[in-house]
Structure formats: structure tokens, C-alpha cells
């Protein structure tokens, strides 16, 4: 539905190929993410957007202690 790390990677590739600027909205099936690559300062990539739980699991049946 959405992949934040993939959206960040897509921005880097698109920017390096001169297809976009360093601040974009990436539209995914699960919602839109705003990705901003601070290329001129600290080189960090900042992703903002809605969050949702996509999976819950219970490892107690595997015998793994907390």
C-alpha cells in the first residue's frame, strides 16, 4: 500500500536524473507522502505523511521472551 523508504529512494533517483526538485509529494495507494531532501544543508531526507497500522503479530507462540 505504501513504502516510505521506497518513496525516499524514488525522490533521490528522480532528482539525480533532473526529473524533479528536492521537495515532492509522492502519491501511493495507501496515501500521499511529502518527501524533502535537504540537499544543500545536512543531506537528510525528511518524510511526512499519515501513519497506519498494517500488521499486528504475536511472537509469544514462538517461545520468544520479552
Per-residue pLDDT tens digits for 7-65: 999 999 999 999 999 999 999 888 899 999 999 999 999 999 988 888 898 877 877 66
Instruction: Write down the domain spans for the chain.
Output: 4-62
Position 1 scores a pLDDT of 65
- Name, in order, each residue with C-beta under 8 angstroms of 58's C-beta and a sequence gap of 6 or more: none
Give the integer Cα–Cα distance in Å for 6 and 35: 11
Give the integer Cα–Cα distance in Å for 14 and 21: 8
By CB atoms closer than 10 A (0-12, 13-18, 19+), residue 28 is middle
Give the predicted TM-score (pTM) of the model. Answer: 0.73
Domain 4-62 CATH assignment equals 3.10.310.10: yes
Amino acid at each position: 500500500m505504501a513504502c516510505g523508504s521506497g518513496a525516499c529512494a524514488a525522490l533521490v533517483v528522480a532528482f539525480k536524473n533532473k526529473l524533479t526538485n528536492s521537495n515532492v509529494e509522492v502519491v501511493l495507494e495507501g496515501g500521499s507522502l511529502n518527501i524533502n531532501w535537504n540537499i544543500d544543508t545536512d543531506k537528510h531526507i525528511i518524510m511526512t505523511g499519515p501513519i497506519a497500522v498494517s500488521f499486528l503479530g504475536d511472537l509469544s507462540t514462538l517461545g520468544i521472551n520479552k
